[in-house]
Amino acid sequence: MTHTHPTLTRWRGPITFITLLAAALLLLPLLLEPFRLNLLAQYLCYSIVALGIALAWGRGGMLTLGHGVYFGLGAYAMAMHLTLERAAHDPLNTTGLPQFMQVTGATELPLLWQPFTSATFAITTAVLAPAALATLLGWSVFRQRVKGAYFAILNQALAAAFVLLLIGQQHLTGGTNGLTDFPTFAGHDLYTPTAQTTLYTLTVLTLATLYLAFRHLTRSRYGKLLTAIRDAEDRVRYLGHDPTWPKTLAYALSATAAGIAGALFVPIMGIISPTLIGVIPSIMMVLAVAIGGRYSLAGAATGALLINAAQTTFAETFSGTWTYLQGALFVIVIALAPQGLAGLTTTLKNHLTPTPPETTTHPQPHKAHT
Amino acid sequence: MSLLTITDLTVTFGDYTALDHINLTLTQGELRFLIGPNGAGKTTLIDTITGRTRPTHGHITYNNKPIHHLPEHRIARNGIGRTFQTSVVFEHLTVADNIDLATTHHLRPWQLLRAPRTLPDTVHHILDRVGLTPHTHHKAATLSHGQRQWLEIAMLLAARPQLLLLDEPVAGMNTDERTRTGQLLTEIATDHTIVVIEHDMDFLRRYARDITVLHEGRILTHGDLTTIQNHPEVQQVYLGHTPHQEHTP
Amino acid sequence: MEALLTQLPTGLAIGSVLLLAALGLNFTFGQMGVINMAHGEFIMVGAYTAFVLHAWIGLDPATTLLLALPLAFAITGTLGWLLELGLIRHFYGRPLDTLLLTFGIGMILQQAARDLFGAPNVDVPTPTWLTGGITLFDTVRIHHSRLFILALALTAVAALAYYLHRSRPGRQMRAVIHNRDLAATTGINTRKIDATTFFIGSGLAGLAGVALTLIGPTGPTLGTNYIVDAFLVVVIGGLGQLRGTVIAAFALGLLNATVEAWADASLAKLIVFAAIIAFLQARPQGLFTVKTRSLT
Amino acid sequence: MRTRPTHTALATALALTIAATGCTTPGPAGVDDDTVTVGMLHSLSGTMAISEVTVRDAVQLAIDEINADGGVLGRQIEPVIEDGASDEATFAERAQKLLTSDNAATVFGTWTSASRKAVLPVFERNNGLLWYPVQYEGLEASDNIVYTGATTNQQIIPALDHLREQGHTSLYLVGSDYVFPRTANQIITAYAQAHDMDIVAEEYTPMGHTEYSTITNDIARHEPDAVFNTLNGDSNVSFFQQLRSAGVQADHTPVLSVSVAEEEIDGIGADNITGHLTAWNYYQSTETEPNSRFVQAFTDTYGPDRVTSDPMQSAYNSVHLWKAAVEEADSFDVDDVRAALDGITIDAPEGTISIDGPTQHLVKTSRVGQVNDDGLIDQIWSSPEPITPDPYLESYDWATDLHS
């Protein structure tokens, strides 16, 4: 593309990006009623997760069927803080303990919960806990060259185990009920239109920042190395690179994005519970990325937005049909459009404006990673 | 001075012995050809030197340090590079990026995270050397078979190894490409130690001075082409199996 | 010690269920590198086969069971064969894509079951001769239905082993597992072998489904209950290894049962997961692996 | 170089999404001269759909009956049906929509405690009114919820009274690992301590667990007088099948279940559970005149194969109770309706029930039943009189440790 209109091409991306960002920040809050804006903010949280999955899966070839876990870690960290804040400010609550703990007969705040009275600690944990768990799991399995389908299955098992843990440790986590009802954050009512707009704005800005950061990463030498590892991990070793750390890093970053998304999701949605982060929700996160386009960060984010919006729109009217449609989407997108929407739009554009072949080579359905 | 010393190397897969008490020394600056019928253990030997396969018995020293326990990337960093029978290049990266990747293994993680503004000179230089400059910004997937092989060699050179192990570099190439590869080899051989696995007799005749013959995991003999061709056991091994072995891969 | 002894039959019982569920899965995975996420739904189809025989055709429980086994094998086998023919065939070498693809197929099958048979569980009665149990040393009790499943699982393993090692197509199949390209050059029709493999692997899911009606609920989500554990068996057992699968299934079953004896079932599952991660540190490729020399 | 993802095309997709998200204008006012909008919020998809669809059917039946009878305050009820999709976030989101976009005068729905807890803040924030139809673990009394199922002192404690009357003094507790069984078992343990009963074991399994050999063998070995079962859903099928294989007989060691209703028996297999006990406030076989009408109307509408259960009946009652309260208040306004709740009484299929104003729970009769060969449940015991709800168990001395 640099051959034809260098200036135009150079700036088209940034201009589109800034236009979209400005529209999202300035226009939409005016156009949408608070309920809809809140929905949009929820979907954008899933877009943030999608960015991470696109990095790990699209770029790094690591199919993560357990991202709900990282989303959940971020979400629970935030929810624990909000729960404590509510308990502290509830005039009827004499013990200062979260309501669900009173049910299970606790008399004092468990050790695990104590530091979460600090918002800073909660937010830091929301970011670092997913990163730490992913680093630990990633490092230990990548080092042993566990990859491909094995890695995917382990992730899935992790999601299953994590949900069991949350449900089993009811006195600490609220069990199946999860944590819910967060009226305030730092003393501010979370349900005023202003608060809703602020949360929405924060989500948009986080999404934009992570998009730019990940985009930079994919274009750096590290990004090239990651792609190389995806396509031929063994070959990379004979060039003197150890694939363990680049993979672990991508996986950990991807988990961090999910954790941040979870932390944002909680005040927006007002609830987190095990059903939102188990095996099936985790796979749905991957489906969204497959549909949007795993090789494209922007595509993946858009895919998550679309799939969640579609879920709301269609699921209520034709719930059975919606399940068929989701299943069919999986099959159709993977079989016919492995590059997803982003791939389709590129193809469409190439049909309209022929460009030299070498600049249009998108990743082909790539070879085995195992 | 010896660069690589293989002592009493044995590799077994279950009941099957792929390498059987191999002893081999490579001196600095050598260009060594490795031949032998299918299953002789040529690729296994290269695999074992580069850490892909672990020795069952015996050891390998490189610059007088044992390397057979190191992981692949550490062996590569020590200066041993290799290519594969079927070339493996990173198809979704450009030719330049493929080469650049080979130069960066010594960089620290944070150095890799910066997006390079321009290509390093070394990359341009190597591209020139293998004749891929016109394809600098093309995806590796668009290269022809011969060009891929050269790209692999270029990637090797970019990693600045002392020892190059090439597994059938001219397989599947046309005559022109073979000639170019041969010239490239000779040129590289001036400042590298090289081991080449090759079957192509014509190619051997033109470029091979030192040949080691492997058979059933053992070293049969060693010498120049004439010596080899007149060696009774070699004749037995080759002619005994296929009379026109010279042109079978 | 007494607790361990008591848990031995339970462990074997859990193990035999895992074995049945994982056997076909491992077969297709080892053979073709295909993770079939629809395998759980094939199990479900097998279970509904028994239900249809009983409730729609009106057979008595014993006839239902005996007739359902071969019929379910044939039905799910055919489903798998069609899946291979229509979709999976075009995705060899893309294991992650087939994984997602077959997950989509699974969703569709599950919803189809819901539309066809309704969402609630249905009842497939157990033949009376399988309802009781045998008591050993006072405290150890083995259910007839468990013995039946154990016997079925071991029969399936034996039949499979015989097929792989003694029959011509079976030996070809093993050749393909070891080296697909080499097998192809020796004149083996790998396409045909793949289709056969998928038929058998999926057929085994049908058997598992029928067996599971004896001990658990029959509903549209039947397969999902077992699939994660079955996958773990495959991971531990190693690629395409019959003995690996057998050992892994019983090891997991015993581990589960032993841990369950002193902790609750939730905790048992977690401990098992941690044990698997630890195990993979020592044996990343599972218990047994086939050595290959291909690069990618 | 990679091709830049076509931002323009993606932007189009984005715009479409936003259009889809934002297209709904603020909903119609909840009440006009001819109609009143109510919400129905159940899982129509996902794992809970099995149970919740039956409840939706019961609510729909009640609405149809009331509409045919002239409606509420002369207005036809217009239900807005939303799918909670067995997912708490969806429940909360749909509840928000029902209350703010649809202006629903009241909402019938939710089943699991998790979904009720998820929508509770939404109802409190928007001052909505939810009718919750399922027996639950108690320890809750929100101004914005009317609880039409049993709380613990109307189901678990009477069931324990019954077991004690029968001379069963050793109990084996088995439950799914979630809030209801854990809370129920705390209560049972406290009760047992106060009444010289023996708890042999307390076992939990993950939701959807199907492997019960360990537990059923353990039960066979310990031979407790009775098993108190708080397992949920699918697990009951495996549990009863495997219990039978373990040789545990209903006449020797009866299992008393609090989450097994007529709907589930068919899936468990009647021969696996015949003779075992259940504790509810209503059975399809309950002999009252309103129940014959209810069962008749239900099977006429949904087919002769369908059965009715306690939660269905409670949901059905909810609509009639709401109608009575609205007519008492002569207003659809939530505050007016709430003020009118206390003492609202109707003749329901389960007998006469009335709303206890302070707790917004129902005063209702407790019943223990026995599963018969036809897969229905025969009542074998009932509380002598309707029991006043006590969600925090404040009137029980032995339960002081349970509520702080």
Residue C270, pLDDT score: 79
CB contacts, 8 Å: C276 with chain A = 154, 157
A121 versus D267: the higher-pLDDT residue is A121
Residues D209 and D95 in one domain: no
pLDDT higher for C229 or D250?
Answer: D250
- Predicted confidence band at B242 (pLDDT cuts at 50, 70, 90)? very low
| Domain range summary for chain B, segments of one domain joined by + | 2-247
In which order are the strands placed within the sheet that holds B65-66? B16-27, B2-13, B57-62, B65-66
Q: Which domain holds residue C176?
A: 2-282
With a cut of 90, say whether residue A179 has pLDDT above it: yes
Q: For D304-326, what is the mean pLDDT?
A: 95
Would A320 be classed as within a structural domain? no
Query: Band of the pLDDT at A363, cuts 50, 70, 90?
Result: very low
The answer, yes or no, to whether residue D336 has pLDDT greater than 90, is: yes
Asked if the structure places residue A304 within a domain, the reply is: no
Q: What's D68's domain CATH number? A: 3.40.50.2300
Task: From C119, D50, D20, select the one nearest A311 (Cα to Cα).
Answer: D20
**Which chain C positions have a beta carbon within 8 Å of B88's beta carbon?**
295-296
Within a domain: residue C290?
no
Query: Are residues D240 and D157 located together in one domain of the fold?
Result: yes
D345 and D315 in a common domain: yes
Q: What is the pLDDT of residue D24?
A: 45
Comparing alpha-carbon positions, the chain C residue that sits nearest to D241 is C215
Q: What is the pLDDT of residue D328?
A: 95
Q: Is residue C274 part of a domain?
A: yes
Residue C214 included in any domain: yes
Q: What is the CATH number of the domain that holds C123?
A: 1.10.3470
- The reply to whether A11 falls in a domain is no
- Facing C264 at nearest CB: one of D203, D221, D271: D203
Name the percent of chain D lying above pLDDT 70: 92
Q: What pLDDT is attached to residue A320? A: 66
Structure tokens at D149: 């199922």
pLDDT digit string (tens) for C173-205?
A: 878 777 777 777 777 888 888 888 899 999 999
Has residue B241 got a pLDDT over 60? no
* Dist. CA D158–CA D368, nearest whole Å: 8
The answer to whether A239 contacts chain B (CB < 8 Å) is: yes
**What pLDDT, on a 0 to 100 scale, did the predictor assign at position A24?**
85
A13 interfacial to chain C (CB closer than 8 Å): no
Does the structure show a pLDDT above 70 at D115? yes
Q: Which positions ≥6 away from A348 have C-beta within 8 Å?
A: D6, D9
- Domain containing residue D116: 35-149+290-363
Local confidence band at C208 (pLDDT 50, 70, 90 cut-offs): very high
For C222, counting Cβ atoms within 10 Å of its Cβ (0-12 exposed, 13-18 middle, 19+ buried), the class is: buried
Confidence of residue D165 (pLDDT cuts 50, 70, 90): very high
Closest CA to C133 of C124, C143, C125, C123: C143
Interchain CB distance below 8 Å, D1 and A2: yes
> pLDDT tens, A188-243?
888 888 999 999 999 999 999 999 999 999 999 999 999 999 999 989 999 999 99
Q: Are the Cβ atoms of B84 and C295 closer than 8 angstroms?
A: yes
Domain count of the fold of chain D = 2
**B88 closest CB neighbour out of C291, C293, C295:** C295
Q: A329 in a domain, yes or no?
A: no
> Is pLDDT above 60 for D21?
no
How many domains does chain C divide into? 1
Nearest CA in chain A to B117: A220
Are the C-beta atoms of D387 and D363 separated by less than 8 Å? yes
For chain A, how many structural domains are there in total?
1
**Is residue C163 included in any domain, yes or no?**
yes
Distance CA C32, CA C43 (A): 20
Position D337: which residue type? V
Split at pLDDT 50, 70, 90, the class of C247 is very high
Residues whose CB is less than 8 angstroms from the CB of residue A164 and which lie 6 or more positions away in sequence, other chains included = C266, C269, C270, D177, D206
Single pTM value for the model = 0.87
| A258 is a domain residue | yes
**A103, A299, A360: residue with CB nearest D10:** A299
Residue-level pLDDT at C62: 87
At the topology level, CATH places domain B2-247 in Rossmann fold (3.40.50)
* Residue D186 belongs to a domain: yes
Q: Write down the pLDDT at residue A141.
A: 87
Minimum-distance CB partner of A239 among B76, B92, B113: B76
What pLDDT, on the 0 to 100 scale, is given for residue A319? Answer: 60
Residues of chain C neighbouring D210 (CB-CB closer than 8 A) = 215-217, 225-226
Which residue type occupies D330?
D
Q: Do D154 and D387 contact (CB within 8 A), yes or no?
A: yes
Q: What is the mean pLDDT of residues D324-340?
A: 95
Top mean-pLDDT range of A264-268, B165-169, D247-251: A264-268
A135 has a pLDDT exceeding 50: yes
Chain A contact for D88 (CB, 8 A cutoff): yes
One domain for residues D52 and D164? no
CB contact under 8 A, D87 and A276: yes
Q: Of the candidates B141, B103, B139, B147, which has an alpha carbon nearest to the alpha carbon of residue B124?
A: B103
Subunits touching D (CB < 8 Å, at least 3 pairs)?
A, C
* pLDDT of A157 strictly over 60: yes
A20 belongs to a structural domain:
no
- Does D386 lie in the same domain as D238? yes
pLDDT value of residue A368 = 37
Residues on chain B touching A366 (C-beta within 8 angstroms)? 92
Look at residue A62 in the predicted model and tell me its pLDDT: 94
Task: Based on the fold, state whether residues D371 and D227 are members of the same structural domain.
Answer: yes
pLDDT given at position A311: 79
Question: Does A12 contact C at CB distance below 8 Å?
Answer: no
Same domain, D272 and D175: yes
Are D158 and D123 in a shared domain? no
Query: Looking at residue D3, what is its pLDDT?
Result: 42
In a domain? residue D23: no
Give ipTM to 2 decimals.
0.84
Q: Which chains touch B (3 or more CB pairs under 8 A)?
A: A, C
Residue of chain D minimizing CA distance to A86: D121
Return the sign of the alpha-carbon dihedral for residues D55, A282, C280, B44: positive
D2 pLDDT above the threshold of 70:
no
What is the average pLDDT score of chain D? 89
Q: Where does residue A91 rank: exposed (0-12), middle (13-18), buried (19+ CB within 10 A)? A: exposed
In a domain, C208, yes or no: yes
What average pLDDT does range A35-41 have in this prediction?
89
Do D243 and D226 fall within a single domain? yes
The domain containing residue A242 runs over which residues? 32-278
Reply yes or no on whether the pLDDT at A1 is more than 80: no
B137 and chain A: CB distance < 8 Å anywhere? Answer: yes
| Substitution target from D45, D47, D213, D302 for chain C, most C beta carbons within 10 A | D213
Tens of pLDDT, residue by residue over C35-53, are 888 999 999 999 999 999 9
Tens of pLDDT, residues C61-86: 888 899 999 999 999 999 999 999 98
